[in-house]
A and B are shown apart, each in its own frame.
Chain A
Amino acid sequence: AQTVTQSQPEMSVQEAETVTLSCTYDTSESDYYLFWYKQPPSRQMILVIRQEAYKQQNATENRFSVNFQKAAKSFSLKISDSQLGDAAMYFCAYRSARTGNQFYFGTGTSLTVIP
Chain B
Amino acid sequence: EPEVTQTPSHQVTQMGQEVILRCVPISNHLYFYWYRQILGQKVEFLVSFYNNEISEKSEIFDDQFSVERPDGSNFTLKIRSTKLEDSAMYFCASSQRDRAGSPHDNEQFFGPGTRLTVL
Task: Give residues in A with beta carbon < 8 Å to B.
Answer: 4, 33, 37, 42-47, 50, 52, 91, 93, 95-98, 100-108
Shortest Cβ distance from B32 into chain A, in angstroms?
10
Q: Is B33 in the interface zone, CB < 8 Å from A?
A: yes
Interface string of B87-108 (1 = CB under 8 A from A): 0000100010011000100111
Count of CB-CB pairs between chains A and B under 8 Å: 58
When the two chains form their complex, are residues A37 and B103 in contact, meaning their CB atoms are under 8 A apart?
no
Q: Tally B residues with Cβ within 8 Å of A.
A: 28
**Chain A residue with the shortest CB-CB distance to B47:** A102
B35, B42, B109 — most chain A CB neighbours (10 Å): B42
A46 to B106: give the CA distance in the assembly, Å. 14
Per CB-CB distance, the 6 closest pairs between chain A and chain B, nearest first, are A102-B45, A105-B43, A45-B110, A44-B112, A44-B110, A107-B42
Shortest Cβ distance from A80 into chain B, in angstroms?
23
**Chain A residues with CB below 8 A from B111, complex form:** 44
**Chain A residues with CB below 8 A from B99, complex form:** 95-98, 100-101
8 contacts between A and B (CB under 8 A): A44-B112, A44-B113, A98-B99, A101-B108, A102-B48, A102-B56, A105-B35, A107-B41
When the two chains form their complex, are residues B103 and A50 in contact, meaning their CB atoms are under 8 A apart?
yes
When the two chains form their complex, are residues A101 and B110 in contact, meaning their CB atoms are under 8 A apart?
no
Q: Is B18 in the interface zone, CB < 8 Å from A?
A: no
Q: Tell which of B43, B45, B103, B112 touches A91, judged by Cβ atoms closer than 8 Å.
A: B43
When the two chains form their complex, are residues B48 and A42 in contact, meaning their CB atoms are under 8 A apart?
no
Q: Is B75 in the interface zone, CB < 8 Å from A?
A: no
Q: A37 with B110: in contact, given A52-B103, A102-B33, A102-B58 (CB under 8 Å)? A: yes
**Chain B residues with CB below 8 A from A96, complex form:** 99
Q: Tell which of A44, A91, A105 touches B3, judged by Cβ atoms closer than 8 Å.
A: A44
**Chain A residues with CB below 8 A from B55, complex form:** 101
Q: Is B20 in the interface zone, CB < 8 Å from A?
A: no
Chain B residues 38-94 with CB under 8 Å of chain A are 40-45, 48, 55-56, 58, 91
When the two chains form their complex, are residues B112 and A105 in contact, meaning their CB atoms are under 8 A apart?
no
Q: A101 with B56: in contact, given A44-B110, A45-B110, A52-B103 (CB under 8 Å)? A: yes
A33 to B113: give the CA distance in the assembly, Å. 24
Shortest Cβ distance from A10 into chain B, in angstroms?
12
